[in-house]
Amino acid sequence: MYQEGYTGASEPIENADALLLRMGSSAQILLNSNNRYLSRDSFSIAHELGHYCLPGHNQSQYYCNVREIFSFQSSNQKEREANRFAAELLMPTSWLKNIVKTSDVSLSLIKSIAEACQTSLTATAIKIIGICPDRVGIVCSEDGIIKWTAKAKSFPYELRTGRVDESSPVVDFFETGDLPEGSAQVPSFFWISSPGTHEFINEESVSMPYLNAVLTVLTLPFDEDDDDEWLDGDSW
């Protein structure tokens, strides 16, 4: 299905990461040859295949830039649909659930799945967040501003918006280009609007220099006093 109706090529493209051109019943996908990230190419191809295959995606041309392909909170419904198509194509839910069931969600797990599937860290994190039972949240910051957040159903708090807290290690990246490695326990108010019973939260971040952005994975430490409903083991 995906190999007979389209062809692909790579060349410099201005103001776009990938391009779909319909030609009758077939189409051509063009990738920006200036892209230095293989994972972005893989997801971009899958994203454009979404435009080619999904009902209602009838435009003759789709010029998709990096923010449309990797945002996952685009105001454009068609771009969101193409992203979901790409994520499912490259990381099938049934396969991914079997992995997440036996592992705690962490930045290391997200990186390993992203490498195996040749997907971006953002796409991988979003997909995992949507299916895992762990109390995990993710935050994407750009230029020191929290651009978007996502959380698992079992994560009980609202994540902050606005500027990244000036005391957070993430700020170091935007000020110096350096980002501390590894997991750290930080005050919950760095990332949570109303921390409630959790004074601290586990924070682990990775920089995305091509977007001047940081992806932060947040997990709540286990507390014996936690409500059972937060540990939603039936979410599968």
CATH of the domain at 168: 3.30.450
Residue 236 within a domain: no
Are 204 and 102 within one domain? yes
Select from 89, 124, 155 the last residue of a domain.
Answer: 89
pLDDT digits over 34-53, tens only? 765 556 788 889 999 999 99
* Per-residue model confidence as pLDDT tens for the chain (236 residues): 344 454 555 555 666 778 898 988 788 998 887 765 556 788 889 999 999 999 999 999 988 877 667 666 667 888 889 989 999 999 999 999 999 988 889 999 999 999 999 888 888 999 999 998 889 999 999 999 998 899 999 999 999 999 999 989 899 899 888 898 888 899 999 999 887 788 999 999 999 887 789 999 999 987 655 554 444 444 44
pTM: 0.79
Amino acid at 108: S
Q: Work out the burial of residue 34: count CB atoms within 10 Å of its CB; fewer than 13 is exposed, 13-18 middle, 19 or more buried.
A: exposed
Kindly state whether residues 37 and 115 are assigned to the same domain: no
Report residue 50: phi and psi, to 5°.
Answer: -60, -45
18 in the same domain as 110: no
Residue-number span of the structural domain to which 24 is assigned:
6-89
Nearest to 218 by CA among 106, 121, 72, 97: 106
In the chain, the number of structural domains is 2
Of 43, 65, 89, which marks where a domain is finished?
89
* Distance separating alpha carbons of residues 60 and 215, to the nearest angstrom: 34
